[in-house]
Structure 1
């Protein structure tokens, strides 16, 4: 590997290791199902997890799961060769969610919501059937901050993609090891490693997605202040309920009572 690749790999390893440690993502004897979509993010995540497994003081299993959604042009031959050479156990499962999405969603509207819902259901069922207790997804730092802005601007909620999540049915723990990794570093690394990327012809072909608009907005703001992306990420872990308006997390109604208690404690 060239010096540039080595430097990128070292940087990405540092951040994926930090993410795993900060949120206790992987524990001894975990069985981790790595979701490999065929994109740059999941390829990079898998590569880094394989390196960490060799160096880790704990023992955990990695298994690769790829979902073939029967999209036109899908060709996983190079992917299979790569996985065989990597010598990691894997399965590529074919389920035609593409036809369902095309049938249900009118032309011009975004496919992401239904597509991800169908994909998530298949992933959860497979993990349960095979006995995996962790599911690793390839979302990175920039996915988290774009999702936060989308939630605020389009849904009126302060929420994003958590680094570690217990599914609604309490049966699955989802981890996102790349939470601290920048998309630019991932893209550069994936290109230099020449991973056999499989393009998404469904959501990837819809240029007017809100997520694309968020990317452009953040990129534009970052020209004035390069710290903006990292500041937004930091904000996700620096919530101050007393400075917001959610009465579920801060008792505004009895604030005066709290003031009196604190005053009496100081006097006493």
Structure 2
């Protein structure tokens, strides 16, 4: 991507504004993406109808707008960033990479993308799929080979789910590799439903009110993690991935395990949304609109000092009355 000049008058909101025309071409960022349209046309057996093209363009526009807004709201990507896009072979990470590529073409800040897949040596993993796909995109990429599968199987008791340990090992490998290649940001493909599911999982099973933040500093302070799909609906991502005909690789380790707690929560949220459309969007807004004084965490709010606040306000009122 060619370097872009950002004037002093450019507002932060314009940096990834989907309608921005700050760079080069006067065409809006969210218009039909020629590459994507050709991909969709080639993916199907029949030429898509005019209506199907319009619906796809609307979907693509919505995803690009939501990702752009998330980047703006949380200052996810800055001038000169090297963004390591973690690609698992699932619908979410493919969509994240494609949307970031499309935004990168017109963004008035210069940043680079490098796709990284962690080959965990799961039996039957189709090692050729991702390299073949990435070669076709022209994106720089690395395949990181780490046999975490054997460790997970060895350490996980029979009948227990592998997700927690697998996630920790995967995260450690990716964080370390990001340092090796000089990545300034690590992009993960979690979407709106992932964030809400994590919120309820922590409430139900961990007694903690926390979810997945759109932007995170790792515990060791070495890596900044971003989630560009934080505002995106899973249904939109699934539809986009299907129409783009991404070569999806299923997870045979965790995705096939029955009775996962996350799956139970996912089904609960889906039922709520089916009965009360819009409920998930309202709940997600709640995650972004927290009132610490209305909860009960003593570390977030000084409940013990309320008497001091009360006394200070009373004193201020008395001073105002005396001055009057």
Question: TM-score normalised to the size of structure 1?
Answer: 0.97
Correspondence 1:85-100 to 2 at 5 A: 85-100=136-151
**5+ unaligned residues in a row in structure 1: which ranges?**
none
Question: How far, CA to CA, are the matches of 1:132 and 1:256 in structure 2?
Answer: 48
Q: CA deviation at 1:235?
A: 1.2
Q: CA deviation at 1:223?
A: 2.4
Question: How far, CA to CA, are the matches of 2:127 and 2:57 in structure 1?
Answer: 28
Partner secondary structure for residue 255 of structure 2: helix
Identify if the C-alpha distance between structure 1 residues 242 and 22 changes in structure 2 by more than 3 Å, giving closer, same or farther.
Answer: same
- Tell me if structure 2 keeps the 8 A contact 1:23–1:164: yes
Question: How far, CA to CA, are the matches of 1:20 and 1:238 in structure 2?
Answer: 18
Question: How far, CA to CA, are the matches of 1:234 and 1:217 in structure 2?
Answer: 18
How many aligned positions are there? 268
Question: How far, CA to CA, are the matches of 2:76 and 2:236 in structure 1?
Answer: 22
Question: How far, CA to CA, are the matches of 1:64 and 1:161 in structure 2?
Answer: 22
Q: Which residue of 2 aligns with 1:42?
A: 93
Residue 237 in structure 1 maps to residue 288 in structure 2: yes
Residue 209 in structure 1 maps to residue 209 in structure 2: no
Cα deviations by residue, 1:137-193 (Å, 9 ceiling, x for unpaired):
000010001100111111111111111111111110000000000000000100110
Q: Which residue of 2 aligns with 1:255?
A: 306
Residue 181 in structure 1 maps to residue 232 in structure 2: yes
Q: CA deviation at 1:194?
A: 0.3
Q: CA deviation at 1:27?
A: 0.2
Q: Which residue of 1 aligns with 2:242?
A: 191
Correspondence 1:1-268 to 2 at 5 A: 1=37, 2-268=53-319
Per chain length, whose mean CA-contact separation is higher, i.e. which structure has more relative contact order (CA < 8 Å, sep 6+)? Answer: 1
Q: Which residue of 1 aligns with 2:31?
A: none
Q: CA deviation at 1:82?
A: 1.4
Q: CA deviation at 1:257?
A: 2.7
Partner secondary structure for residue 205 of structure 1: coil
- Tell me if structure 2 keeps the 8 A contact 1:163–1:177: yes
- Tell me if structure 2 keeps the 8 A contact 1:76–1:198: no
Q: CA deviation at 1:262?
A: 1.1
Which aligned segments of 4 or more residues in structure 1 are displaced greater than 6 angstroms? Answer: none
Q: Give the greater-gyration-radius structure (CA).
A: 2
- Tell me if structure 2 keeps the 8 A contact 1:166–1:174: yes
Q: CA deviation at 1:105?
A: 0.5
Question: How far, CA to CA, are the matches of 1:222 and 1:100 in structure 2?
Answer: 38
Larger mean CA deviation between 62-71 and 243-252 belongs to 243-252
Question: How far, CA to CA, are the matches of 1:49 and 1:120 in structure 2?
Answer: 21
Partner secondary structure for residue 208 of structure 1: coil
Cα deviations by residue, 1:190-242 (Å, 9 ceiling, x for unpaired):
01100011110011011211111111111112223222211221111111111
